[in-house]
Amino acid sequence: MRLGKKLVLDTSVLVEHIVARSPLQGPRRKHFRRAARGELELNVNAVTLAETLYVASRIYSTAGVEDPNGEARNFVTWVTRRADVLDIDIHTSTLAGELKKEAKDSAPGLIAVRISVYVGVHFV
């Protein structure tokens, strides 16, 4: 699959980046390398960052990291230095809620899907 020049990242993509044995870690890291070379614009929303902070903290805790919350905050900061944080306005929130109702799914990732459609970028 050929990716466009802009991507909206979801929690799963970010978490795969830190899971050492993930089979998807390589492809996920490629997004960040392409962005560092200026070939790709990465985007993320605040809900995704909140989810990522929570999940990363749990992963670091399970792995026995001394300060899992601090490491999770560091990771989220690292992400925000590489990706633009997109605003979630009331229009986008309402559309995401409608999408979630139609899909009968409460997953917050649907917000990222809706935002990617709204701003016209590819969702990963």
Q: Does domain 6-123 sit in CATH 3.30.70.20?
A: no
For residues 108 and 50, which has the higher predicted lDDT (pLDDT)?
50
Smallest CA-to-CA distance from 15 within 101, 111, 79 is with: 79
- pLDDT tens readout for residues 34-49: 888 999 899 998 888 9
Structure tokens given for 89: 């306005």
Structure tokens given for 118: 């709204």
Q: Enumerate the domain spans of the chain.
A: 6-123
For residues 77 and 26, which has the higher predicted lDDT (pLDDT)?
77
Cβ atoms of 93 and 87 within 8 Å: the answer is: no
* Reported pTM: 0.73
